Structure 1
Amino acid sequence: MDTATEIEWMKLTFAELNARAAADALVIVPVASLEQHGPHLATGVDIVCATGVAHRIARRMVAAGQGVVVTPCVWTGLAEHHVPFGGTVTLDYAAFAAVLKGVVRSAGRAGFKRVMLLNGHGGNAEAVAVVGGECQTEFGLKCVAGTYWHLAGDAFAPILERQSNVLHACEAETSMVMTLLPEAVRTDRLPDAHGPHSTRPEGQPAAMIRRRSFKDITPSGVVGDARSATAAKGEALLAAAAERIAAELANPKLWG
């Protein structure tokens, strides 16, 4: 094992982590959810994808000579809108914020000064941003937060056929899971893996937020169309996300 290039917190000793902290390594905390993902995907999709993206970002940064360590994924999130399907675990905001703050606080107490909350679940997006700001105020460290497909921006659109970015249990998520954990895909159910391409009713602008039960929006539990998903697309999406987000995190002005 080459500990100099190891990126996973849980695979390093306390002394190795102390050395990373002293060298001002960035801590990436993947944040996800455990919830329904249609008839064709296991419930751990967001955990798999958030972790996979985080690891690829970290490996790219380490290869460029930057110090990074990735914690295990915070696997519970805000998923009330998926509960009616079953198979979903959710927290309320207070519990969710407390868990994230506990992780960030611990990173600070371990000597780290920079943390990235890398979100992989749409229902967490606003909450993760709020918690990131509160962590800076309360713990005196530098904390950025973002959802990986928002940070990837327009990098995903050229790869996908039926959508321009991540939706839910869609072409994008299904493709990435085909790459990262193919046994989590029920390929025999792919013909049923499609639904509307938006969670908003006609006339509701993208900037206006109101959470609705996905059961009322999409009987299949899917937003988008997974029938065109492939592992090759998944590999391309992961590479695009890693390249874009690694460059964003390497910007010294971000941490000034």
Structure 2
Amino acid sequence: MPRALEWMKLTAAEVQQAAAENALVIVPVASLEQHGPHLCTGTDIILGGNVALETAKRLEAGGMPVIVTPVVWTGLAEHHMAFGGTVTLDSSVFQALLHGVVGSVARHGFQRVMLMNGHGGNAEAIGTAATELAVEFGIRVAGATYWHMVPEAIAPLLEAQPTLMHACEAETSMVWHLMPEGVRPDRLPEAVGPKSSRVEGQPPGLLMRRSFREISETGVVGDARTASAEKGAKLLDAIATRAAEVLANPRLWGEE
């Protein structure tokens, strides 16, 4: 019987065997927050967890040992608080949480960790965590927001926007595929917002978090009106396939 890919489904001995095999540990990181009038607050949890698991399936099929922890479901979501339905941490608590998870993984003998982020508000903090935790624990730690890591897999499948945004065509489609009860189809006509969370004249290199109330009346960035479950299945497959290709690179882990 093949070993499960999910840490929580393994026995302690099986987890230790994975460490002995130099398995990559993928830690999905997400957020619980508003996603417009049409989409469930657990969107980032659903998508982050499934992108991580589907990526792991493809890595295993290619011969890389891998396991996936449960989703870190809380993140940095202060910019969504004004809409309600959101749980947020402050930066020090978030970093302490990641420190505890990765520290535990390292103490069990794992040498490779991927922080697979599924929430835009966590992006900069994930990069900081990956760097600091690698130095502290003496292991390889990578970190990325999945749609930033594989944009080339996403853009060709979208009709109304160039990339994944927030409660948008891409996120709505994938939730519709994975958990249809998380979508309110009757509210889709309202599920449209600005095409960017940046104000006019703000370059990509200028970071400034502002309340989504200032950005979008609906809480949406992008356009969910062209979403479909079929599109969601294609997006999930394309994202996971490309992410697995990226993570399978032995040079990334210092193995060549």
| TM beyond 0.5 | yes
Distance 1:133 1:116 in 2: 12
Structure 2 stretches of 5 or more lacking a match?
none
Q: RMSD between aligned alpha carbons? A: 0.7
Q: How many residues align?
A: 254
- Shift of residue 77 of structure 1? 0.3
- Shift of residue 76 of structure 1? 0.3
The equivalences for 1:41-80 within 5 A come to 41-80=39-78
1:194 aligned to 2:192?
Answer: yes
1:166 aligned to 2:177?
Answer: no
- Shift of residue 199 of structure 1? 1.0
Partner of 2:38: 40
The equivalences for 1:125-164 within 5 A come to 125-164=123-162
Determine which of 105, 110, 121 is the counterpart of 2:103. Answer: 105
Partner of 2:213: 215
Cα distance per residue 1:141-199 (max 9 Å; x no partner): 11000000011121111100011211000000000000111111011111110011111
The equivalences for 1:74-93 within 5 A come to 74-93=72-91
- Shift of residue 70 of structure 1? 0.2
- Shift of residue 3 of structure 1? 4.0
Partner amino acid for 1:57? T
Structure 1 stretches of 5 or more lacking a match?
none
Partner of 2:237: 239
TM-score (norm 1): 0.98
- Shift of residue 254 of structure 1? 0.3
Distance 2:119 2:92 in 1: 17
Partner amino acid for 1:131? A
Distance 1:3 1:36 in 2: 38
Contact in 2 for aligned 1:155/1:241 (Cα 8 Å) = yes
Contact in 2 for aligned 1:152/1:240 (Cα 8 Å) = no
Tell me which stretches of 4 or more aligned residues in structure 1 moved more than 4 Å: none
SS at match of 1:29: strand
Distance 2:242 2:93 in 1: 31
Partner of 1:185: 183
Partner amino acid for 1:40? H
- Shift of residue 110 of structure 1? 1.3
Distance 1:206 1:97 in 2: 24
Determine which of 116, 119, 134 is the counterpart of 2:117. Answer: 119
